[in-house]
Amino acid sequence: MSLIKYFKLMKTSAVILCAICFIIGSISFAASLPNVRISGGYADITTPTGKEQVVKVGDAISSDDAKFSDLTFSGKKLDLMILRERGANQEYYDVYLYSIEKDEFIFNDELSHIPCLVADSRIGQLVGACFHENACENWEERYSVALSGKISLVERRGTYCDQDGRAYSYIDAFKGGRKISSRVKPIEDGASKENKNAR
């Protein structure tokens, strides 16, 4: 092989190697996505492949009010939660689950109505951590979740008071949408003791 052919082959190889590095770099860049920027009442979302999507959000919402989470336990934080409202005891997020097939974030109404939604990756359940009716009636709910975002209630645990002011804690277990067991016990400390002594 002549020296000229050798250098041409080396040049071609270098060009191919640079192209491969560029492609790998692009894939690596896409792996750093998704991303969200919020300004002027709109969220500009970039999908993991680099596709742009825009959704309307509240005017007071900022980029600090958005987070990516793994709500379907796929192993990747691709699901988007954008704060919708925050009260004294509860906060609600607009939840967008990432669809790989459509390469877009799809709004999930059911998950968006669960207060203080968090993912418990230790046992693979979603938790509505701050349901609240009044000072005595508070509870959390645990859900199993499919990759599609469909949820099923697994457990509800909380507290309530009877009409005489006695406080109770309870744990209800569910399967297939039906309550299968319930445990209730009186709470014998704090406010419950004060109510008894006041009589």
Bridge partners of 86, per DSSP, are: 91
| pTM given for the model | 0.76
pLDDT band, very low/low/confident/very high, at 117 (cuts 50, 70, 90): very high
* Per-residue pLDDT tens over the stretch 43-101: 999 999 999 999 999 988 999 999 999 999 999 999 999 999 998 889 999 999 999 99
* Per-residue pLDDT tens over the stretch 118-172: 999 999 999 999 999 998 999 999 999 998 889 999 999 999 999 999 999 999 9
pLDDT band, very low/low/confident/very high, at 8 (cuts 50, 70, 90): low
pLDDT for 30 equals 46
CB–CB of 110/117 below 8 Å? no
pLDDT for 27 equals 45
3-state SS record for the chain: CCHHHHHHHHHHHHHHHHHHHHHHHHHHHHHCCCEEEEECCEEEEECCCCCEEEEECCCCCCHHHEEEECCCCCCCCCEEEEEEEECCCCEEEEEEEEECCCCEEEECHHHHCCCCEEEECCCCEEEEEEEECCCCCEEEEEEEECCCCCEEEEEEEEEEECCCCCEEEEEEEEECCEEEEEEEEECCCCHHHHHHHCC
pLDDT for 33 equals 76
pLDDT band, very low/low/confident/very high, at 194 (cuts 50, 70, 90): very low
> In the chain, what are the domain boundaries?
33-113, 114-199
pLDDT band, very low/low/confident/very high, at 11 (cuts 50, 70, 90): low
